[in-house]
Amino acid sequence: MDFDLLTHELKKAFAQLDVTEKQEAAKAEKLQRKTERAARRKAARRKPVTVKTIQRPPATAMCKDCGKSTNPDPELYFLPVQCLHCQQLSEAIDLGIRSKSCTEFSSVSVVPGGAPGLGKRK
């Protein structure tokens, strides 16, 4: 019986040693990965920063409607290119999507009470 107890105690002690050894190996591996990562970051900082080039519109482009050569807008180069004549024609056509003229307010009146539909607050 004493032999079984001794064997059991030895197994427990060696199991604890194995766990400690695995933990220390994991710590060493983590420290190595940390130093490698720091070295990569340091090397990445040394590289010159490349400036992203802005896409420039072509000097001349073809009108999408009539095909005439025209200059595109430098700020809104991603919009379809239209010549002045086609722009004026498209502005003259009212599709009902937007108003033809700008809506301006001549006066504003303030009504006492709460928000619309909520009634007067007391």
Locate the domains of the chain by residue range.
Answer: 1-50, 51-97
Question: Is residue 31 predicted with pLDDT exceeding 90?
Answer: yes
Which helix H or strand E contains 13, and what residues bound it? helix 2-46
Nearest to 70 by CA among 57, 84, 91: 84
- Name the pLDDT band for 28 (thresholds 50, 70, 90): very high
Could you tell me what percent of the chain has a pLDDT over 90? Answer: 10
Global pTM?
0.32
> In whole angstroms, what separates CA 109 from the centre of its chain?
43
User: Does 86 have pLDDT greater than 90?
Assistant: no
Q: Cα–Cα distances in Å, from 53 out to 34, 73, 76?
A: 34, 18, 16
